[in-house]
Amino acid sequence: MALFMDVHDRVEGLTADAVAGAHAKDLEVQGRYGVDYRQYWFDEGSGKVFCLVDAPDAEAAAQVHREAHGLVADQLIPVREG
């Protein structure tokens, strides 16, 4: 498994409820792809969302978002915990 931070640069109409709902949909789908969406952070003012995800590869992480709600990240960055 690899750890990634995905970045959504501008999600239109972003609210706390909307991002919580999208995350819940990720959790429903992630098991099909061996993915674990661990945590998310967001800023309503800028529309930015950040998701920390454990996945076999970047494509599996992206596929969960694609299938769950269609909001695919603009960037998917491999990271390590420090």
Q: Which helix (H) or strand (E) holds 61?
A: helix 58-68
pTM of the model: 0.91
Task: List, as own/partner pairs, every contact residues 26-29 make where C-beta atoms lie below 8 angstroms and the sequence separation is at least 24, other chains included.
Answer: 26/51, 26/64, 26/65, 26/68, 26/69, 28/68, 29/64, 29/67, 29/68
In tens digits, the chain (82 residues) has pLDDT values of 999 999 999 998 899 999 999 999 999 999 999 999 999 999 999 999 999 999 999 999 999 999 999 999 999 999 998 8
Q: Which of these, 78, 80, 62, 58, lies nearest to 70 by C-alpha position? A: 62
Res 13: pLDDT: 87
